[in-house]
Amino acid sequence: MSISKIADTSQNNDQLYSSLSQNLKMIKNTLGNSNDLVIREITIGKAEQFTLAIIYVDGLSDKISISNAVIDKLMLDIDDNNDAEIEKIIRYLRDSCLTVGDVNDIFHFSALYNSILNGNTVILVDESSTGIVTSTQGAKDRAVMEPSTESVIRGPRESFTETLRTNTALIRRKIKSPNLWIKSRIIGEVTKTEVAVMYLNGIANEKIVAEILSRLDRINIDGILESGYIEDFIQDSKTTIFPTVYNSERPDVIAGEILDGKIAILVDGTPFVLIVPALFTSFLQSAEDYYQHWMISSLVRLLRFFGISLALVAPSLYVAITTFHQEMLPTPMLISIASQREGVPFPAVVEALIMEVAFEVLREAGLRMPRTIGPAVSIVGTLVIGQAAVEAGIVSAVMVIIVALTAICSFLFPAYGLSNTVRALRFPLMIVSAIVGLFGLMFGLMIIILHLCSLRTFGVPYLSPFGPLILQDQKDALVLFPRRALLTRPRLISQKNTVRGQKYFNTKKRNQTKV
């Protein structure tokens, strides 16, 4: 956290003492004499000597920077005289002595604690109630690595880390524009977590930016440990099972969303960055769609939409047809399914629920197990349990095929959040299909669609550009048009400066006019 972001708005009873010993006693008592608190007292000056203390937290600050840029400089003799004032000494230390990049004054204990607990170094001088805070953050952080949840064949191989400033730098490397603005907030009474709102000024909707900042300011909680905390507080609907805030760990994805006029929310301590407004189509689009030929990307997108439909309704459709609508099946297929189910003691819905629950348990166990044995256990467990269940006559072979196909289709989603939603909705759809057949399945799907139509994310319809239908935005929805045809940003998201590449667009229009 930059020390310029630290607010120093405490009450008078939080004021620093003029006595150095009192200040140090207060600091030690507040922090419980923790052994990672480092306090180095030194004496400076020639004719008149001044005692000062250097305070930082071991492990959060860079010791090399403290040694070279702070202690070494302070140990030099100061050319003063007998009538040197303490204020002049403070000003000299701040303006002429310290060689670190960010130096500010502090006057209250709350600002002092925020500074040292964020990796900065504080300098207190005896007989002065003003402290100096220097930027010396040096906590260990994870290096930029490949994304673990959003892998691509073609595209950048970098992902966000748990350090906020590293993440903002990764986005600025993609968007080198002075209009890329950052607004910061400190959230959490105990954790004091820095949250940054990042957007393109002149492209992003100013009303949405103001609404995001307003919702962040209203958050009253003791700690923020992950961006999911923020997501729960700022989303429009608190009862929907559908994700209305998009998240990604890829800088190129976040940069592309910002260029469309959306707003990114970065939280210190997590590699997952939030994006709002989030549309339903965003969860079915991959970064790789824009890096390969548009025809291939369009076919893959159609496959994803088909996959979400199959993952949602395949078990329910099987239950409805085998229970109520056998006449819809061709006779050979009906005879084959009936012969397989001849020894199964359970109705189709119980059979489907058993297999779906068993697969979900195996998948969750595979995620929680150590990486070295997790995949092997999940694959072997699925094969063994499926084969054993068919041979024991508990389920039919066709039911195993349906569940396996459904599970594979659930892995087509680029966004894991939407996959969880589809997995959860399968169970109520199977139950209503078992009660009233295809009529129940159609009724359930209508309820889901009506619910999606009612959702909004920061005032933007969730199903846009399908509902309401926006023809110009269909170029990047169900299919993907060539890059040269994507000349406008989403209409309901970016209300101004909606044309991408204004110079190219104007040149193309002039050439067409000449022809």
Q: Could you tell me which residue, 374 or 367, shows the higher pLDDT?
A: 367
Handedness of CA 372, 374, 378, 381 (dihedral sign): positive
Residues whose CB is less than 8 angstroms from the CB of residue 484 and which lie 6 or more positions away in sequence, other chains included: none
Q: Apex CA 210: angle with CA 204 and CA 214, to 5°?
A: 145
338-342-347-349 Cα dihedral, nearest 10 degrees: -50
Q: Residue range 61-66: average pLDDT? A: 85
Looking at residue 447, its pLDDT comes to 94
Q: Assess whether 119 and 16 both reside in one domain.
A: yes
Residue 409 lies in a domain: yes
356-362-365-366 Cα dihedral, nearest 10 degrees: -120
149: closest CA among 420, 452, 428, 386? Answer: 420
- Provide the phi-psi class of 34: left if phi over 0, else alpha when psi is between -120 and 50, else beta: beta
Read off the pLDDT of residues 410-440 as tens digits, 9 standing for 90 and up: 888 888 888 889 989 999 999 999 999 999 9
Q: Assess whether 196 and 331 both reside in one domain.
A: no
Confidence of residue 254 (pLDDT cuts 50, 70, 90): very high
Q: Assess whether 106 and 176 both reside in one domain.
A: no
Instruction: Give me the residue label for tokens 């429009």.
Output: 236
Residues whose CB is less than 8 angstroms from the CB of residue 92 and which lie 6 or more positions away in sequence, other chains included: 78
Looking at residue 443, its pLDDT comes to 94
Q: Above 50 in pLDDT, residue 504? A: no
Of all residues in the chain, the percent with pLDDT exceeding 70 is: 90
Phi, psi of 497 (to 5 degrees): 55, 55
Q: Apex CA 426: angle with CA 366 and CA 407, to 5°?
A: 40
Instruction: Give me the residue label for tokens 């977590």.
Output: 193
Looking at residue 379, its pLDDT comes to 62
Residues whose CB is less than 8 angstroms from the CB of residue 475 and which lie 6 or more positions away in sequence, other chains included: 481, 485, 486
Read off the pLDDT of residues 116-172 as tens digits, 9 standing for 90 and up: 988 899 999 888 888 989 888 877 778 888 888 888 888 888 999 998 989 999 999
Q: Assess whether 260 and 338 both reside in one domain.
A: no
Boundary of a domain, candidates 243, 278, 313: 278
Residue 183 lies in a domain: yes
CB 232 within 8 A of CB 212: no
Q: Assess whether 270 and 301 both reside in one domain.
A: no
Confidence of residue 64 (pLDDT cuts 50, 70, 90): confident
Looking at residue 195, its pLDDT comes to 95
Q: Above 80 in pLDDT, residue 357? A: yes
Q: Assess whether 447 and 410 both reside in one domain.
A: yes
Q: State how many domains the chain has.
A: 4
Q: Assess whether 249 and 205 both reside in one domain.
A: yes
Q: Assess whether 60 and 104 both reside in one domain.
A: yes
d(CA 428, CA 436) in angstroms, rounded, equals 13
Looking at residue 10, its pLDDT comes to 41
Tokens of 358: 């068993």
Q: Above 60 in pLDDT, residue 204? A: yes
Structural domain that includes position 41: 3-134
Tokens of 512: 């067409």
Q: Residue range 71-80: average pLDDT? A: 65
Q: Assess whether 300 and 418 both reside in one domain.
A: yes
Q: Assess whether 354 and 399 both reside in one domain.
A: yes
* Weakest mean pLDDT among 229-243, 339-353, 361-375, 413-427: 361-375
Residue 141 lies in a domain: no
Looking at residue 425, its pLDDT comes to 93
| 3-class state of residue 264 by DSSP | strand
Instruction: Give me the residue label for tokens 């006449």.
Output: 327
Residue 373 lies in a domain: yes
Q: Residue range 499-503: average pLDDT? A: 68
Spell 73-111 as b/e; 16+ CB within 10 A means b: ebeeebebeeebebeebbebbbeebbebeebbebebbbb
Q: Assess whether 341 and 215 both reside in one domain.
A: no
Confidence of residue 82 (pLDDT cuts 50, 70, 90): very low
Tell me how far CA of residue 416 lies from CA of 106, 118, 222, 389, 413, in angstroms: 45, 32, 28, 29, 7
Residue 272 lies in a domain: yes
Q: Above 70 in pLDDT, residue 381? A: no
Confidence of residue 374 (pLDDT cuts 50, 70, 90): low
d(CA 87, CA 12) in angstroms, rounded, equals 20
Q: Assess whether 304 and 442 both reside in one domain.
A: yes
Give the helix ranges, DSSP H, for 325-437.
Answer: 331-340, 348-368, 374-391, 397-410, 416-436
- Provide the phi-psi class of 243: left if phi over 0, else alpha when psi is between -120 and 50, else beta: beta
3-state secondary structure 456-506: EECCEECCCCCCCCCHHHHHECCCECCHHHCCECCCCCCCCCCECCHHHHH
Looking at residue 46, its pLDDT comes to 65
Q: Could you tell me which residue, 359 or 211, shows the higher pLDDT?
A: 211
* C-alpha distance across the termini of the chain, in Å: 56
Confidence of residue 515 (pLDDT cuts 50, 70, 90): very low
Read off the pLDDT of residues 258-290 as tens digits, 9 standing for 90 and up: 999 999 999 999 999 999 999 999 898 888 889
d(CA 461, CA 465) in angstroms, rounded, equals 8
Read off the pLDDT of residues 170-192 as tens digits, 9 standing for 90 and up: 999 999 989 999 999 999 988 88
